[in-house]
């Protein structure tokens, strides 16, 4: 979802872009190198001429239920992947200077109404543990004297994947409902702002450490649900989906929809980033206009 958009934006700006993938690529403008993270294999030629690595690898956090094995895979796909690249950098000459990596607002997890900043302590559940280990593995690049930048990404809004289509589908067919109490905070961000923020992070060599990748004005689940309904010219008439039912159905994964994470965008704004979409209403209007 993000890799394709970021690749297109980089190519448009004149960058040369390569991909690491488990299968051969089809884009004639992008050279694809093969790797297998589980087997620990990687095409050593992938780092030739490269100055920046963008780490977006990782299994989808909500694609399957969180069994013990699934949890290990979610963490492994994020940590072992960047470790494989670092091991290659240690063994081969290269010109890599920067690593720009995704992370997640799961680092803060369910924190109620407390506003989370980059220096806030992590939570103590699986989501936080996954993000802490993810960021720790990326920080190993500091030992290689690389510039390391991490973006703790919120709920990325796009009609082509992620959370929005899942939330919009029942609304579209007249069965939309607010989840749980509805007062849980959702730190959203428009896909275009995500791409533009990555471009800024790639090009601004003064940026390092961690930044929250969220819009400045988070909204509640109830607010977002009603905003989606309004954009689709639908009404929300069903009662709130009970927390107990969601927990029974989703298990530990229920924290993804019932957890409340209110996240500040102050640091990235101070770094000079100007958001294209400040309100969720403007974001949704743009996304559904483009669909």
What is the per-residue pLDDT across 209-263, written as a single tens digit (0 to 9) for each?
999 999 999 999 999 999 999 999 999 988 999 888 888 888 888 898 899 999 9
Average pLDDT, the chain: 95
Give the C-alpha separation, 75 to 227, whole Å. 33
State which residues form the domain around 31. Answer: 2-290
- For residue 169, pLDDT over 80 is answered with yes
pLDDT, tens only, 79-96: 999 999 999 999 999 999
Q: What is the pLDDT of residue 290?
A: 62
- For residue 291, pLDDT over 60 is answered with no
pLDDT, tens only, 213-222: 999 999 999 9
How far is CA 218 from each of CA 12, 113, 139, 165, 260, rounded to the nearest angstrom? 31, 11, 28, 19, 11
% of the chain surpassing 70 pLDDT: 99
Number of domains observed in the structure of the chain:
1
Give the C-alpha separation, 213 to 264, whole Å. 9
Q: Quick one: CA torsion of 215, 219, 225, 231, rounded to 10 degrees?
A: -50
Q: What is the CATH number of the domain that holds 68?
A: 3.40.50.720
Give the C-alpha separation, 94 to 88, whole Å. 9
How far is CA 216 from each of CA 32, 100, 138, 163, 284, rounded to the nearest angstrom? 36, 22, 26, 19, 15
Enter the pTM of the model: 0.95
């Amino acid at each position: 979802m993000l890799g394709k958009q970021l690749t297109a934006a980089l190519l448009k700006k004149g960058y040369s872009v390569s991909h690491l993938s488990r299968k051969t690529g089809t884009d004639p403008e992008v050279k694809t190198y093969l790797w297998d993270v589980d087997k620990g294999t990687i095409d050593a030629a992938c780092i030739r001429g490269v100055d920046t690595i963008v780490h977006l690898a990782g299994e989808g956090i909500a694609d399957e239920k969180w069994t013990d094995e699934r949890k290990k895979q979610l963490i492994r796909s994020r940590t072992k992947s960047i470790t494989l690249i670092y091991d290659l950098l240690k063994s081969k000459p290269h010109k890599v200077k920067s690593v720009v990596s995704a992370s997640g607002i799961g680092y803060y997890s369910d924190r109620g109404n407390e506003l989370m900043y980059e220096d806030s302590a992590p939570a103590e559940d699986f989501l936080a543990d996954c993000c802490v280990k993810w960021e720790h593995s990326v920080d190993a690049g500091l030992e290689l004297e690389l510039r390391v930048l991490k973006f703790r990404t919120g709920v990325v809004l796009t009609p082509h994947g992620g959370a929005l289509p899942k939330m919009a589908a029942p609304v579209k067919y007249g069965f939309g409902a607010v989840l749980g109490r509805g007062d849980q905070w959702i730190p959203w961000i428009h896909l275009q702002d995500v791409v533009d923020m990555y471009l800024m992070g790639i090009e601004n060599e003064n940026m390092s450490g961690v930044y929250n990748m969220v819009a400045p004005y988070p909204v509640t689940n109830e607010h977002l649900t009603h905003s989606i309904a309004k954009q689709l010219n639908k009404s929300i008439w069903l009662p709130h989906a009970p927390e107990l039912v969601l927990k029974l159905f989703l298990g530990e994964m229920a924290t993804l929809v019932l957890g409340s994470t209110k996240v500040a965008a102050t640091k990235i704004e101070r770094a000079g980033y100007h958001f294209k979409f400040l309100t969720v209403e403007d974001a949704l209007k743009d996304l559904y206009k483009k669909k």
